[in-house]
Amino acid sequence: MNKSFFLVTFAVMIISFSAVARGNSSFRPDAIYGRDDRRDVYQVDNRSFITLARSTAAQILEGDMDFNPATNSYNVFSGTLQASMNLCSNAQFAKQSAAANCSGFLVAPDLLVTAGHCVQNMHECNGGYWVFDYKLENPAALRISNIAARQVYRCVEIIEQTLDDEAMNDYALIRLDRVVTDRTPLKIRQNGQISSGTSVVVVGHPSGLPTKISAGAVVIDNGPKNYFVTNLDTFAGNSGSAVFNAETNEIEGILVRGEEDYVPSPMGDCMIPRLCRESGDGCLGEHVTRITNIAYLKGY
């Protein structure tokens, strides 16, 4: 849970506009726009969103999980979000465990999409697990300490990957160690692009937390070639998250960059989420790589 690198000024954030994963990020998807719309899966009523969330996964680093052959499961080692981020005790989700490093989503039976900065080489491919259903089941559950082996997959091949700061292009397509048979690959946009003002939803692991679904957001800037900008409530750990069109349930893109995540509280003794206007004015917005950038997925 190494997240010690904080951005010093807004100018530095502009200059260092490359995103890397939660533990070593210089520019990450992080901020609350207006009201905090993040919800645990059990809090969501929309059945379509819940179904879509089943096909999303958390990247958990190898050192944070240990296989137990006696139970055919993995032990997960993680502290609370409060402990890892020096978060104020009354902050939302402060008491929940936070083990995820990045997020990803299934696009074919053995293919998963994530951010390019989450899997940059085979060392990073081999160095983590991809875990489905890393979620809390009810309000009483705050920690996930054990995961069934059937939910856990490994990366065995990087099919296509880019992390281009100049072109602002950031994605990776990887192959899993076996076919996923108990959930459906997500439908992706094949051509064209989402319209400005369209409602979008993100599913992923903000700050390493168990799965969160965040709706109530729209596309606020659709001009850039390789990405679009939203006012989604996302944090480091959301890198690689699936961004859905709320009207079609199609994947529109991959959450990759955004605002600074936590700032000191007024008293200065703990951290609180950075707050932005719902409109995004005064903040950078949350950047989403267009799914159509991935050439290998044409026709899927």
What CATH number does residue 185 fall under?
2.40.10.120
Which pLDDT score, from 0 to 100, does residue 283 have? 79
Which pLDDT score, from 0 to 100, does residue 126 have? 98
The total number of structural domains in the chain stands at 1
Q: Region 100-117: what's the mean pLDDT? A: 98
**pTM as predicted:** 0.87
Q: Bin 31: left if φ > 0, else alpha if -120 < ψ < 50, else beta.
A: left
Asked whether residue 262 is assigned to any structural domain, the reply reads yes
Asked whether residue 1 is assigned to any structural domain, the reply reads no
Asked whether residue 251 is assigned to any structural domain, the reply reads yes
Which pLDDT score, from 0 to 100, does residue 31 have? 61
Burial of 115 (0-12, 13-18, 19+ CB in 10 A): buried
Which pLDDT score, from 0 to 100, does residue 53 have? 98
Asked whether residue 2 is assigned to any structural domain, the reply reads no
Comparison of pLDDT for 282 and 239, the residue scoring more? 239
Asked whether residue 39 is assigned to any structural domain, the reply reads yes
Which residues form the domain of 63?
Answer: 10-297
CB burial string 18-42: b at 16+ within 10 A, e below:
bbbbbbebbbbbbbbbeeebbbbbe
Asked whether residue 4 is assigned to any structural domain, the reply reads no
Nearest to 111 by CA among 240, 250, 297: 297
**For 29-64, what is each residue's pLDDT tens digit?**
456 676 788 999 999 999 999 999 999 999 999 999
Q: Region 153-171: what's the mean pLDDT? A: 98
Please, which residues have CB within 8 angstroms of residue 221's CB and are 6 or more apart in sequence?
Answer: 196, 228, 229, 280, 285
Asked whether residue 175 is assigned to any structural domain, the reply reads yes
Asked whether residue 277 is assigned to any structural domain, the reply reads yes
**For 182-215, what is each residue's pLDDT tens digit?**
999 999 999 999 999 999 999 999 999 999 999 9
What's the chain's average pLDDT? 88
292, 191 Cβ separation under 8 angstroms: yes
